[in-house]
């Protein structure tokens, strides 16, 4: 059953229009009203086709999860028999186990919550670490994972031919290897020792970076500290330049300034999260995944 309508919230209207145009389908907004006490009231189209997709990229996710709860259950009452969540950025994937007694395993909890609302999930480069596949984290009948690494690799090939790709930590290895293979880039990966959300230590690989144009590539830039530490170390080791390419441009707080202060020259990202650094569009791939 093909998706017939793409629903979206007003703040993602531009993204929805790109995806709907690429898919050749209609799109419609969900109206949202906030009461003085902070509660939300949503209004969907009065009648829906059997298969509907709902676009919501889950940066700053807490309120958006409530939006999904209200929207998905309402859509079922308005004629939708199958619902697909199109979440270019999927939040709460990093906490996949309890590291100390009493911790909530948020990946498992949020994943099951979403699976209770949707029949399928489409996302881009979810931050899976100890869990191998998306359907383990979000147990739906159809779980689709796309990657921004190939498009970022194409951009790097145009902007920095012959670049050395470097992963800022071990978790980035999967994306760096994928991007490197696409254009035959040299690549290597740093080692990260984390002391807190904003306190990290980066150990550079035993690789001669002198005179090389380096691109740090990762799935997400959040606080910016890991990328900034890696950039400073690479420049100190003799790299000619350091740029950054990421799938998800979260850039919390002063993350962007941290990168500039560390000597990063350019930052490129996909449009999974709207940000001034967006340089490549995932819309065609997302649209194709809705077939």
51-95 pLDDT, tens digit per residue, is 999 999 999 999 999 999 999 999 999 999 999 999 999 999 987
Query: Going by C-beta distance under 8 Å and a sequence separation of 6 or more, which residues neighbour residue 20?
Result: 6, 26, 27, 287
Q: Which of 8, 108, 192, 248 is an active site residue?
A: 192
Structural domain total, the chain: 2
What pLDDT sits at residue 2? 85
Please check whether residues 141 and 24 belong to one and the same domain.
yes
Please check whether residues 143 and 160 belong to one and the same domain.
no
CATH number for 229:
3.40.50.2020
Q: Is 276 inside a domain boundary?
A: no
Please check whether residues 52 and 157 belong to one and the same domain.
no
Backbone angles phi, psi at 77, to 5 degrees: -80, -15
| Contact present, 8 and 54 (Cβ < 8 Å) | yes
pLDDT by 10-residue block (mean), the chain, 291 residues: 92 96 96 96 97 97 97 98 97 84 91 97 90 90 96 96 93 91 94 65 87 95 88 95 96 86 95 95 96 73
Please check whether residues 140 and 89 belong to one and the same domain.
yes
Catalytic residue at 41?
no
Query: Residue 222 belongs to what domain range?
Result: 149-271
Please check whether residues 133 and 153 belong to one and the same domain.
no
What pLDDT sits at residue 198? 55
What pLDDT sits at residue 100? 86
What pLDDT sits at residue 225? 87
What pLDDT sits at residue 88? 97
What pLDDT sits at residue 197? 54
């Amino acid at each position: 059953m093909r998706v017939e309508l793409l629903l979206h919230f007003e703040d993602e209207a531009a993204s929805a229009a790109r995806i709907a145009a690429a898919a050749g389908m209609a799109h419609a907004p969900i109206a949202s009203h906030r009461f003085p006490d902070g509660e939300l009231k949503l209004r969907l189209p009065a009648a829906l086709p059997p298969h509907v997709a709902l676009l919501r990229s889950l940066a700053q996710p807490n309120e958006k999860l409530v939006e999904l709860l209200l929207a998905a259950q309402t859509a079922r009452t308005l004629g939708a028999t199958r619902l697909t969540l199109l979440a270019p950025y999927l939040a709460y994937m990093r906490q996949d186990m309890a590291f100390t007694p009493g911790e909530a395993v948020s990946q498992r909890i949020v994943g099951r919550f979403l699976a209770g609302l949707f029949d399928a999930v489409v996302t881009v480069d979810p931050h899976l670490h100890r869990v191998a596949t998306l359907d383990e984290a979000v147990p739906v009948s159809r779980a689709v994972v796309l990657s921004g690494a190939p498009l970022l690799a194409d951009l790097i090939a145009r902007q920095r031919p012959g670049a050395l790709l470097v992963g800022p930590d071990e978790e980035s290895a999967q994306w760096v290897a994928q991007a490197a293979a696409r254009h035959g880039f040299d690549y290597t990966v740093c080692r990260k020792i984390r002391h807190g959300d904003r306190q990290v230590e980066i150990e550079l690989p035993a690789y001669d970076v002198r005179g090389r144009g380096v691109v740090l590539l990762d799935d997400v830039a959040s606080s910016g500290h890991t990328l900034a530490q890696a950039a400073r170390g690479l420049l100190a080791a003799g790299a000619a330049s350091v740029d950054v390419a990421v799938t998800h441009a979260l850039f919390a707080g002063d993350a962007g300034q941290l990168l500039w202060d560390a000597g990063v020259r350019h930052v490129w990202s996909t449009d999974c999260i709207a940000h001034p650094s967006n340089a490549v569009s995932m819309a065609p791939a997302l649209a194709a995944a809705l077939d």
